[in-house]
Chain A
C-alpha cells in the first residue's frame, strides 16, 4: 500500500538472505570510515528506507580530468638523433605550433647540457623549457661539486629520474638525448614522457617520429636486440652521410606532418663545435 512506500516493492522476508549485518559491521568497524555503509546496512536490515543511500563520492579521476584539460598543449615538432662511431648527430625542427596555428618558425628545441651531451625535446613547450632548465641547473651543480662536466650516460640517468619524479603530473616532453660516452663513441638515449629510457643507435621522437622511425630502421640496419653477444646499434656511416640522412628524413616528414618543418636544423657534433645548418626548404 502507499503508506508502506518502498517497503511494498521489496521481496518478502523469507526470500532475502539472512545476515547479521550489525555483527558483521561491528567486526569491521574502523570508525567513521565505514559509517555510511553501516548506516545503509542497518537501514535495510531494520526495514527503514527513509535514509537514502549516500551519493557516491565523485571519483578523483573526473576532478583531475576537469582540471586537467587546459594544463597541457602539444606544441608539436620532431627530434632525431643518430649515433656514430665517434660522433653523434642531434637534430630538431624549429616550428612552434598550437592547434592549426604557427606561433613561431624559429624556436629551438635543442639544449646543450654539457660539452658531450645535447638534449632535444618535443611536446609541450612550457614543460620542455622547465625540464631543460632543471637539467642545466643540475649539470652546473655537478660541475661545481665534481670539477668536471656530466657525461652523457650520467645525464641520461638524471633525465630519467627527473621525468619519473613527476610521474603523477608528467612533463609532457618527449626527449632524445645524444652525445658521446666516456669512450668517445656516439650514444643516443630515447625517452617517453615518464622516464623509461633505452640506449639505442638512433631515435626519433615527437609528432613526426612515426614517419621517421621506419625510414631510419630501414637505412641504419640495426642488428636485432635478440642477438648474443649484443651488437652495437651504432651506425658505421660517416658523419656527413649521417647528416645527409637526417636532412632527408626531415624533408620526408615535413611532406606529411603539419607540425614538422625542414628549416632550420641544429646539428651538434662532438665537443668541437655546434653546427647549425639552414636548409632553403621552408
Chain B
C-alpha cells in the first residue's frame, strides 16, 4: 500500500512519507489475510501505521536544543487525539520527539525507561548522553527493521552534555529503517519538506531562546497552514545544561483574512 507520494516515481519517496500513509484503517483485515497468505506463519507485523503523530521540528540554539511539535495524533484521516505529548525527557541530558505510529513511540519510551533505569542503577557518576541514546535508538530501529517488524517512527533526539570540549549540544534523527544523521536542525514528516527550507535559510549558531522560539513558530505555522494532519495546539520543549523544560501547550495566531477568502463564491455561483 504505497502512499501517494509528491515526488516522482524515479527516486524512492522519502521514508517520512511512509509515516503519512493515509490508509483507511479498515484495510487491516485485507492486510491480515495478505500477511497470513504471504508469511504463512499467522503472526502480524506492523505493515501500516494507524495512529500517527505529525512532524517534529528541532534545532540547536545558543544554550542548548529546542524541540517542538503539535499535540495531535491522527487515525488515518481523522484527527482523533488532540492532547498527545510527543516530546519526552530521557535521562538527565536528552529530549526525544517522535512522529509516526504513536504506539511504537510509547514502546520506544518503555525501552528508554529500561535503559535509563539500568544506567541509573550503575550509580557510577556517569549518565547516558544524547549521543549514546541516539546510537542506542539507531541500533534498536535497525534491528527491528532487520526482523521485518519495524517501529514505525521517525525519532528526533536532542540534548546537551558536558564533553571534553565543554558543553556539547547534540541533535540527531533516526527513521524507521535505521537511517540516522546528526544536524543543526531537524524536521520529520512534512516538516522535512516545509520547515527545513526555512531553517536552512534562517538558522544561526548563536540564536537566543526567544529568537529560536520565533523561528520554530514560523515553521510550525507553515505546517499548520499546509499540512492537513496538523492541529493548532503546539508544545515547545527545550533542554540546556540546567535541565529540560517542556512548556504547556498553546495555540498560534493564524491569519485567514485574505481577500481571496473573503467572498469565496464570488467567481463560482452556487459553490459553498
How many angstroms from the CA of A129 to the CA of B137 in the assembled complex?
Answer: 13
With both chains docked as a complex, state the minimum distance between the C-beta of A64 and any C-beta of chain B, in angstroms.
8
Contact status A75-B38, CB under 8 Å: no
Chain B residues with Cβ below 8 Å from A126 are: 138, 141-142, 145, 177-180
Contact count band on A: 20 to 34
How many angstroms from the CA of A103 to the CA of B186 in the assembled complex?
Answer: 9
Q: Which of A67, A73, A169 contacts B177 (CB 8 A)?
A: A73
Contact status B12-A101, CB under 8 Å: no
Contact status B18-A70, CB under 8 Å: yes
Report if B82 contacts A (CB, 8 A).
Answer: no
Report if A69 contacts B (CB, 8 A).
Answer: yes
How many angstroms from the CA of A73 to the CA of B5 in the assembled complex?
Answer: 15
How would you classify the secondary structure of chain B's contact residues: helix, strand, loop or mixed? mixed
Report if A71 contacts B (CB, 8 A).
Answer: yes
Chain A residues with Cβ below 8 Å from B177 are: 70-73, 124, 126
Inter-chain residue pair count (beta carbon < 8 A):
83
Report if A203 contacts B (CB, 8 A).
Answer: no
How many angstroms from the CA of A130 to the CA of B174 in the assembled complex?
Answer: 14
With both chains docked as a complex, state the minimum distance between the C-beta of B182 and any C-beta of chain A, in angstroms.
7
Write the chain B residue with the least CB distance to A103. Answer: B181
How many angstroms from the CA of A56 to the CA of B150 in the assembled complex?
Answer: 30
Report if B107 contacts A (CB, 8 A).
Answer: no
How many angstroms from the CA of A72 to the CA of B12 in the assembled complex?
Answer: 10
Which 6 A-B pairs give the minimum distances between C-beta atoms? A126-B178, A63-B38, A99-B11, A104-B181, A99-B14, A99-B7
Q: Which residues of A contact B (CB under 8 A)?
A: 58, 62-63, 66-67, 69-75, 96, 98-101, 103-104, 106-107, 124-127, 129-130, 169
Known: A71-B177, A99-B14, A126-B138. 16 other contacts (CB 8 A): A63-B40, A70-B150, A72-B177, A98-B15, A98-B179, A99-B11, A99-B12, A100-B8, A103-B183, A104-B181, A104-B182, A104-B183, A107-B181, A124-B179, A125-B180, A169-B146
